[in-house]
Structure 1
Amino acid sequence: MIDPTALRDKPTLSGDRVRLVPLAEEHADALLASTRDDEIRRLTGTHRRWSREEVRRWCRERAEQPDRLDLAITSRPDGRFVGDLSLMEVDTANESAAYRIALSAIEFTGQGLGKEATRLVLQYAFERVRLHRVWLEVYAFNMRAIATYRACGFSVEGRLRDALLWEGRRHDALLMAALEHDFRKAVG
């Protein structure tokens, strides 16, 4: 059975290279900058342009959401904002939730920061929230993210054909999921 306090009480999770902290208004400017990075927008399929006030409000309201978990990814030891992630669309009856992660700039990719953040949040999801399944969608062209998800125990479950129209081209999205035992096996 899912522990609802694990979503309501926003944790701080620490790894060797990243620290996950509750997303708050102090992260708004860095998050806004990431929404304006063309490559990050492509990788996440984000067409919408957010205003400064919308991002500030979004960050400010995250702590009040009892049914989801939104965390900022910061680097250790300097505390620099490197992205954000969410556990959302929690299905308590089926012990399942959706996962989303976005690094804030291309300079942070390929360093293992997203992998460490994903492992930290999955450990929390399976041990503390008591989920059985965590799923996500990733665009099929994002091979680096797919490799990271596989290393964390995710497997491809399906394909959403032509899910993204970006600059006149259509792209598939992959549906991936990790079950608790998949995650345990992947991280040893």
Structure 2
Amino acid sequence: MADFSHKPTLTGERVILRPVTEADVPALLPMFEDPENARLTGMHTEFDEPALRAWYGSRGSRDDRLDLAVVERATGTVVGEAVLTEWDEANESCAFRICFTPAGIGRGLGTEATRLIVGHAFEGLGLHRVWLEVYAFNPRARRAYEKAGFTAEGVLRGALLWEGERVDATVMSILAPEWPTT
């Protein structure tokens, strides 16, 4: 099994996933500035551009996670990121997360990006399990994950405190034997 030091480029019909860089920050800024994105992802932290530049500039040297920019093929525009993180080498598993700028939402790009990066986790890295968490107030994302083959495993009750209210998170996963290879 490989680690995440190799940063591949994964090509689909509508998107390309490639290593994210500091130069992608201007395109990704709307993702961090959008209040609805913050709510759906449970992101409490406010980011500034210099901090984001430092963060994305350091992703290429990490061997414990894989951060890829989601690029719309038709326009060449960076519309989001897809990430494999929380790598558990001993158990051949990792977490997955994906987020888009407002311009990239609702066009099926996330479905293809999810299939590309999860396929890489199983076929390229030899992992056995990929998991994620999705908040109860994000049913659109949950449906997209189910469409990609993820199955609900359980609920983390009150996992997020958002604007004074507790929100459940559903843990979902997909296992290598469940992954379609065609």
What TM-score results when the alignment is normalised by the length of structure 1? 0.93
1:40-73 CA distances to partner (integer Å, 9 max, x unpaired)? Answer: 1111110110111110001100000012100000
User: In 1, are the aligned partners of 2:15 and 2:70 still within 8 Å (CA)?
Assistant: yes
Deviation at 1:140, TM superposition (A): 1.3
SS in 2 for 1:172: strand
Query: Partner residue of 2:81?
Result: 84
2:141 is equivalent to residue 145 of structure 1: yes
Q: How many residues align?
A: 182
SS in 2 for 1:101: strand
User: In 1, are the aligned partners of 2:65 and 2:86 still within 8 Å (CA)?
Assistant: yes
Unaligned ranges ≥5, structure 1: none
Query: Partner residue of 1:3?
Result: 2
| Matching residue within 170, 175, 178 for 2:171 | 175
1:104-132 CA distances to partner (integer Å, 9 max, x unpaired)? Answer: 11x42221111100000011110111000
Q: Distance in 2 between matches of 1:150 and 1:24?
A: 30
Q: Distance in 2 between matches of 1:102 and 1:13?
A: 17
Q: Distance in 2 between matches of 1:116 and 1:136?
A: 17
User: In 1, are the aligned partners of 2:27 and 2:77 still within 8 Å (CA)?
Assistant: no
| Matching residue within 123, 129, 141 for 1:127 | 123
2:1 is equivalent to residue 12 of structure 1: no
Deviation at 1:33, TM superposition (A): 2.5
Amino acid at match of 2:125: V
Unaligned ranges ≥5, structure 2: none
Q: Distance in 2 between matches of 1:26 and 1:124?
A: 24
Identity %: 48
